Structure 1
Amino acid sequence: MRRTLTHLALHVPDLDACVQFYKEFCGMQVIHERAGKGSRIVWMAEPGKEHEFIFVIMPGGHARQLAEDDYSHFGFAVDSREQVEVIAAQAQAAGCLIWAPREEPYPVGYYCGLRDPAGNYVEFSYGQPLGPGSEAMPIP
């Protein structure tokens, strides 16, 4: 029996702020929007991956209060170390950078971390055996 992870559903205190964050920093786009449970529900995906994996973002819930050393996060791979640094600089200017760019031993690679408006942590990495360029890297 095959199982495929298709979506992650999040309740967030400020729907519009989270939608904007995932557009700006993650390059995701709104692919579906509908009324639901007294307000609207938004589906977001990376371009070209609309049938593979989406975020379902709904209003409600409470902001997460994660400690800086809590490494619970959503992970996005990018094409280069430079892209990690660009995202980190944008996040620093926006006041949402939590982990400055850093290098960790394989398989972690080079990464930075941001806090979304709901308090979730979002990692941007290069050099992991997942995502862009990973075909040449073995998974340990």
Structure 2
Amino acid sequence: MVTQTTECKRVLAMRLNPGEDILQSLRAAVKENNIQNGFFLGGAGSVSRYRVHVVETTNLPPGDLFFEEDGPYDVLDVTGVVINGRVHAHIVFSDKEKASGGHLEEGCTVLTFAMIVLAETPGVDLTDWDSIRSL
């Protein structure tokens, strides 16, 4: 286990509009605000299309399984980290029958809106936190 204690420098609240790609928007906001390290505190909204990947195997490093689908979905949460300016985010979404999610990929398109909150934590070094994938 690895732990670090830090304080939050600032909180960035983002509102995404219809048609915007969630991952592209998060990357742009991180770059525009010069955020190197941080934690996504949550997110909500809706998408007209999702694209994610999940781990496919128990081998290390695990293989990835990508899946995508069109249709209206509620976004239940967006979570993850920013490591050295790189967004590593996950999304949870649902329709009337099921909830699902995975590693956020380009192709998650906002339907009505999306609101996502990011806490910048410059005092924590997340460089080696994912030693399997070397993020």
Which of the five TM-score ranges fits, normalised by the shorter chain? under 0.3
Task: Kindly indicate whether structure 1 or structure 2 has the higher relative contact order, using CA contacts under 8 Å at least 6 residues apart.
Answer: 2
The TM-score normalised by the length of structure 1 is 0.24
